[in-house]
Chains A and B, each alone.
Chain A
């Protein structure tokens, strides 16, 4: 039995109680038997469609001469900027991480900037999305580490100063990635909740200022998430490469 109910998608979340933690994923848009698609998944798909469609439109007519389109120049500027930031933060040879970092950055930035639509619930304000993004980084760390330094170099990281630190290193491996997901979730949820609580008290001018601040916070969070993914992925390489040279 297919049931489609988009009436809650356009609800303006004004009451703080309505945005409670357990209710955020519980708004089901499409139900099919015991399977369902909630707001978080649907909005994630919307964002993915937006990014893929935008990238496809922008890269249709690529050219290297002076007739490059404005969209191509904008995308090139974005890629070059992220490349420069990654190089400044984590040394050389960061091109291999750039695909992952760019994907995370574009997804989180689009999700966070779309909060200027009053009824849009950003999927980054749901713990399941941010933990999925953090799981990508969690799998990317051993992948890039083993690719760059070999499996020996990767395992050497865990007994780094002394073998006694092994449990602490394993602990920090989990918690550094867990903190990434929780940080994005906490920032977005606090922004959305603060805006909704404030608009219940002062509906006119004050939420505008907070929304603007929320856009700034969202951009910084996207930047930080992408950059931390690069930093964690390149953590092993930097320790191993000087030892090989000397």
Chain B
């Protein structure tokens, strides 16, 4: 296997693994946050607006780690620095 095929195969595999493993944590975290917020909203319907805005902000915070994984997956697929290295060889 020459270096082009190797880099391409490893890049695709790495992007898939990165996205799959990287989103587990934030998925569980977002599920917990949403479940707790729904429970709190059911217990105190008067405070629902406040809870909802806080929930959106915290969901965005939790989502960040999955988005880092997504960025790295995009980088390995579309802006892989090792491609240029292999081409220049």
Instruction: List residues of B whose CB falls within 8 A of some A CB.
Output: 49-50, 53-54, 56-57, 60, 63-64, 67-68, 70-71, 74-75, 78-79
**Residue pair A179, B64 in contact (C-beta under 8 Å):** yes
CA distance A20 to B49 in the complex (A): 39
**Residue pair A182, B79 in contact (C-beta under 8 Å):** no
Which residues in B have their C-beta under 8 angstroms from that of A113? none
Q: Which of A35-43, A50-58, A206-214, A223-231 contacts B (4 or more CB under 8 A)?
A: A223-231
Given A89-B54, A224-B57, A21-B64 contact (CB < 8 Å): no
CA distance A231 to B58 in the complex (A): 12
Shortest C-beta distance, B19 to chain A (Å), equals 10
Interface residues contributed by chain A, number (CB under 8 Å)? 22
**Residue pair A186, B71 in contact (C-beta under 8 Å):** yes
**Residue pair A223, B78 in contact (C-beta under 8 Å):** no
A22 on interface, CB distance cutoff 8 Å: yes
A62 on interface, CB distance cutoff 8 Å: no
CA distance A196 to B71 in the complex (A): 17
Which residues in A have their C-beta under 8 angstroms from that of B74? 21, 189
**Residue pair A20, B57 in contact (C-beta under 8 Å):** no
